[in-house]
């Protein structure tokens, strides 16, 4: 009977990944895009969603997060207002940017690879990028960098002064639940 109870107590740790939620105050989502050949930096706030993480069983790990697109900040209020319009992020119709993982893999040096669906302005594209996961007590920090083509998501229209490549850097602080 004791063996059965011990086995039953181990099942939740085997079957379920640890659940985390992003801490928006400690999370950074930054981007840079060249405009007239100069790097224009910006960020988004208010990352929300669910993260299930078990580095020993990546098959049950997942990311389902979204960013409030209305929080775009380039340190220029006039530009930020312009970027919220239909030609760019169209936040009236598309107030969130979402990322849904489809596969997470890892290697022996602690670097992981995320394959996910990224949705911006109602357009979903597959992306893939490396990231790290750093345990800090009960919480965890996920860090990664990737690039997207803004035109894949109809951001910025046909602007010839704006580079097609957008570099995105994430530093997500996640709180254990």
DSSP 123-171: EEEEEEEEEEEEEETTEEEEEEEEEEEGGGGT-STT-SSEEEEEEEEEE
Residue 31 pLDDT class (50, 70, 90 cuts): very high
**pLDDT single digits (tens) 143-167:** 999 999 999 999 998 888 999 999 9
* pLDDT higher than threshold 50 for residue 69: yes
Angle 156-160-166 from CA coordinates, rounded to 5°? 50
* pLDDT higher than threshold 90 for residue 105: yes
Its CATH class, for the domain covering 17-176, is: mainly beta
Q: Are 45 and 96 in contact (CB under 8 A)?
A: no
Helices (H) and strands (E) in the chain, counts: 2, 10
Residue 109: per-residue pLDDT = 74
Mean pLDDT estimate for the chain: 91
As a whole number, mean pLDDT of residues 33-57 equals 95
* pLDDT higher than threshold 60 for residue 82: yes
In the DSSP assignment, the letter for residue 17 is: P
The domain spans of the chain are 17-176
As a whole number, mean pLDDT of residues 30-34 equals 97
Residue 53: per-residue pLDDT = 96
Against a cut of 0.85, is the pTM above it? yes
Cα distances from 134 to residues 74, 111, 141, in angstroms, run 28, 10, 5
Residue 5: per-residue pLDDT = 44
Residue 157: per-residue pLDDT = 87
Residue 13 pLDDT class (50, 70, 90 cuts): very low
Q: Are 170 and 144 in contact (CB under 8 A)?
A: yes
Percent of the chain beyond pLDDT 70? 91
Nearest to 144 by CA among 51, 71, 78, 56: 51
As a whole number, mean pLDDT of residues 112-126 equals 98
As a whole number, mean pLDDT of residues 92-98 equals 98
Alpha-carbon distance 175 to 172, whole Å?
Answer: 10
Alpha-carbon distance 112 to 128, whole Å?
Answer: 11
């Amino acid at each position: 009977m004791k063996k059965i109870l011990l086995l039953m107590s181990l099942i939740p740790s085997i079957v379920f990944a640890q659940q985390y939620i992003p801490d928006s105050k400690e999370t950074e989502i930054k981007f840079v895009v060249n405009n007239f050949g100069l790097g224009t930096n910006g960020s988004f706030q208010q990352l929300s969603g669910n993260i299930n993480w078990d580095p020993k069983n990546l098959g049950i790990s997942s990311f389902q997060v979204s960013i409030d697109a209305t929080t775009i900040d380039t340190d220029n209020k006039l530009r930020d207002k312009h970027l919220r319009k239909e030609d760019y992020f169209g936040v009236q119709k598309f107030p969130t940017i979402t990322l849904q993982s489809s596969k997470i893999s890892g290697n022996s040096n602690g670097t992981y690879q995320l394959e996910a669906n990224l949705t911006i302005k109602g357009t979903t594209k597959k992306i893939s990028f490396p990231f790290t996961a750093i345990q800090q007590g009960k919480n965890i920090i996920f860090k990664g960098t990737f690039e997207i083509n803004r035109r894949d998501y109809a951001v910025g229209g046909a602007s010839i002064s704006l580079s097609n490549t957008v570099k995105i850097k994430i530093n997500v602080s996640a709180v254990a639940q």
